[in-house]
Amino acid sequence: MTTTRPSVSQADLAHVQDYIKKVRARVGTVVVGQDVVVERLLIALFSGGHLLLQGVPGLAKTLLVSTLSKSIDLGFARVQFTIDLLPSDILGSEVLDQRTNEFRVRKGPIFTNLLLADEINRAAPKVQGALLEAMQERKVTIGPETFRLPAPFLVIATQNPVEQAGTFELPEAQLDRFMLVHRLDYPSPEEEREVLRRNAALGIQRQDKGAIVQTEFDVLDQRPVGSGNEIVAAMEAVSSIHVSDTFVDHVVEVVHRTRTHPDVELGCSPRAGISLIKASRARALMHGRDYVVPEDLYALAEDALLHRMRLKYGSIAEGKTGRQVLDEILRAMGGEARS
Amino acid sequence: MMLFRKWTSRLACAAALATAPQHVSARPPQEVASPTVGMPARWNDVVLPGSELEAVTSSRTSPVALRIVAVRPHGDSFRYDFEFWGLEPGVHDLRALLVRKDGSTKSDLPALEVTVRSALGEEGMRLPNAPKPAELPELGGYEALLVAGGVVWVAGLGWMLLAGRRRRAAELAAQPKVRSLAERLQPLVERAMRGELSREERAALELSLVALWRRRLRLDEARPAEVIATLRKHPDAGPLLSKLEEWLHRPQPRGAEEIPALLAPYRNLRAEELDSDGAAR
């Protein structure tokens, strides 16, 4: 294993940006709109973080992740989290091979590049804990053996913010493991019309002696637009994006303000600032820049910071939301000129 | 004859009574004791003419105190028993302590002098030496030190205030008067372009410009992420913000720019508009 701090040329940057455009275009052939979500997925992938998507059912979360995995030639696995799920169902376990009378390891679905943990809050805390530990350490221990997870390894978890009955809310410490938490919105009317038009255009697909109705999954071009090398190049490019001292100061200020705001009981940890800078670098690359600007900070602040803040009970009782408080914090930045 | 003598003597008595004076003088005070100071003494059977007398309450400064022990009628006069206390040695007239009950004059009273002796011999009472007021010592060392310290402190404070005011006035006089926001921003922007701003100045300049345009374009209700995207595209706010992004965040900023053109939208703004409270004025 080598650690590199690459210096990427403008040509390499242009190549990476071209690759990203192709990926987005491929995803766009199946998923309508959701540009921001695609951007967040790629940010998480290129900057080595994990992503939690919060949204009501039916917003094409699974389709989006599945499409992305096929577009970028990555291994993909999906686990539907339920109350009776066990850690071994995700990580794997030792099984007795009756032919050799020895235990052998059966790896779980976590051994993939892109793991979709659907409705993560429905599983028991011990399952959540096992997954989140693997996310942090990027290795899994089964029996006496420890296995390194494949690289890249990205967990995209989903969570339904509405149905909370019978769920186990992720505690702040575990939410902190997710680099970004993105809250999906409904598509715009125009996007929704396009979704309906495309869905109406789907036909049936002959299979065996009968036929099944086609879904969006069936129309996706199975050929990836690039290889693993492109992903590595993109990751290298992200780590070469310049972060100015001024930008670091902005990040420190916004993180510090979350700790001193009167409505906030628990402010952001230093990991929040790290995540914000990592994600900003990836976003800068996706927007064709080799340096980060305040726009990246403002665009990613909600996804990187909001899940790391906990409001005071009194503020919640007054009807304040974390998003309102974060907006207040961001608006307050630069409120006083010092020169 | 006997009868004649009897009547003659009666007439003589009557004539004698008729020719007797109308008022009766006080008996001479031969039997009056001369008490020493503070000791009581009695003077009984003193017949005094006129209406009934009574003793007045003696004052604190009165040399003698008098009490009438008994009063009895005596013809058209009264006979009194006095008790008195001498408070000072000497001869005192008791008339001063008597008044008529009916308020009439007492000028017809004879002198009622009593003598009060001193028990202390000829030298009289020996009074203690009159105390002389002691002279206050001069202000002590500790108090003097406190006063002196207070004076020095007040003088020092006054000097500092005056000096600070004078220096501020001198600085203000030395500074060129800022008339517009463009003039205020120009030195900052020039230094930003040359990369000479400190870290704090860079962060403050960039964020305060974002805040300025957010207030001016009334974007307070918009989400912060939308605000910055809007500002970058705005014809007035965008050019300088974009250039600042390049100068402050790009690893190798491009060459010099036409700063007056960048500051054109700020020429008609007051310099105080950059401050959040200045905008509210």
Tens-place pLDDT, residues B153-205:
999 999 999 998 988 888 888 876 657 788 888 888 888 888 788 878 888 88
How close B274 comes to chain A (CA, Å)?
6
Is B276's CB within 8 Å of A327's CB? no
- Domain ranges for chain B, please list them: 18-116, 181-280
Q: Quick check: B165 and B173 in contact, CB under 8 A? A: no
Residue B224 forms contact with A (CB below 8 Å):
yes
| pLDDT reading at A164 higher than 80 | no
Q: What's the mean pLDDT in B237-247?
A: 84
- Residue A232: enclosing H or E segment and its boundaries? helix A228-240
- Contact list in A for residue B206 (CB cut-off 8 A) is 246, 250, 294, 334
First to last CA, chain A: 49
pLDDT over 90, % of chain A: 12
Q: Quick check: A240 and A6 in contact, CB under 8 A? A: yes
Distance, CA of A267 to CA of A171 (rounded, Å): 14
pLDDT confidence of residue A21: 87
- Contact list in B for residue A295 (CB cut-off 8 A) is 225, 228-229, 232, 245
pLDDT confidence of residue A36: 85
Omega before B35 within 30 of 0, i.e. cis: no
How close A12 comes to chain B (CA, Å)?
17
| pLDDT reading at B280 higher than 50 | no
pLDDT confidence of residue B69: 94
**Between residues A202 and B266, the one the model is more confident about:** B266
CA-atom Rg of chain B in angstroms? 58
pLDDT over 70, % of chain A: 93
- Give the residue numbers in A contacting B (CB under 8 Å), as ranges: 242, 244-247, 249-250, 253, 290-295, 298-299, 301-302, 327, 330-331, 333-339
Q: How confident is the model at residue A3 (pLDDT cuts 50, 70, 90)?
A: very low
Three-state secondary-structure class, residue A126: helix
Q: What's the mean pLDDT in A85-98?
A: 87
- Contact list in A for residue B229 (CB cut-off 8 A) is 295, 299
Is A334's CB within 8 Å of B209's CB? yes
Q: How confident is the model at residue B18 (pLDDT cuts 50, 70, 90)?
A: very low
pLDDT confidence of residue B5: 57
Domain A238-333 has CATH 1.10.8.80: yes
Is A245's CB within 8 Å of B202's CB? yes
Distance, CA of B32 to CA of B64 (rounded, Å): 15
Distance, CA of A137 to CA of A27 (rounded, Å): 30
pLDDT confidence of residue B279: 42
B2-16, B33-47, B84-98, B257-271: which has the minimum mean pLDDT?
Answer: B2-16
Is A294's CB within 8 Å of B251's CB? no
Locate B269 and state its tokens: 């703004």
Distance, CA of A305 to CA of A182 (rounded, Å): 11
**Between residues A231 and A166, the one the model is more confident about:** A231
Q: pTM of the prediction?
A: 0.65
Is A249's CB within 8 Å of B248's CB? no
pLDDT confidence of residue B270: 77
- pLDDT tens-digit readout, A193-243: 887 887 777 777 777 777 777 776 666 666 777 777 888 888 888 888 899
Q: How confident is the model at residue A339 (pLDDT cuts 50, 70, 90)?
A: very low
| pLDDT reading at A43 higher than 70 | yes
Highest mean pLDDT among A34-38, A108-112, A166-170: A108-112
| pLDDT reading at A305 higher than 60 | yes
- pLDDT tens-digit readout, A53-65: 888 887 778 888 8
Q: How confident is the model at residue A6 (pLDDT cuts 50, 70, 90)?
A: low
| pLDDT reading at B68 higher than 90 | yes
| pLDDT reading at B63 higher than 60 | yes
Q: What is the DSSP letter of A71?
A: H
pLDDT confidence of residue B160: 92
Distance, CA of B217 to CA of A149 (rounded, Å): 50
ipTM exceeds 0.85, yes or no: no
Q: How confident is the model at residue B83 (pLDDT cuts 50, 70, 90)?
A: very high
pLDDT confidence of residue A337: 37
pLDDT confidence of residue B256: 62
pLDDT confidence of residue B98: 93
Q: Taking the mean position of all CA atoms in its chain, how far away is CA B249?
A: 69
- Contact list in A for residue B203 (CB cut-off 8 A) is 246, 249-250, 253
Q: How confident is the model at residue A277 (pLDDT cuts 50, 70, 90)?
A: very high
Q: Quick check: B67 and B84 in contact, CB under 8 A? A: yes
Mean pLDDT of chain A: 83
Mean pLDDT of chain B: 80
- Domain ranges for chain A, please list them: 20-203, 238-333
Is A294's CB within 8 Å of B228's CB? yes
pLDDT confidence of residue B176: 66
Q: What's the mean pLDDT in A295-311?
A: 90
Q: Quick check: B41 and B29 in contact, CB under 8 A? A: no
Closest CA to A137 of A99, A177, A103, A88: A177
Residue B275 forms contact with A (CB below 8 Å):
yes
Q: What architecture is the A20-203 domain classified under in CATH?
A: 3-Layer(aba) Sandwich (3.40)
**Between residues B120 and A253, the one the model is more confident about:** A253
The DSSP result for A157-219, as a single string, is EEE-SS--TT--PPPHHHHTTSSEEEE--PPPHHHHHHHHHHHHH--EEEETTEEEE--GGGG
Closest CA to A329 of B205, B233, A308: A308
Q: Quick check: A38 and A25 in contact, CB under 8 A? A: no
How close B265 comes to chain A (CA, Å)?
18
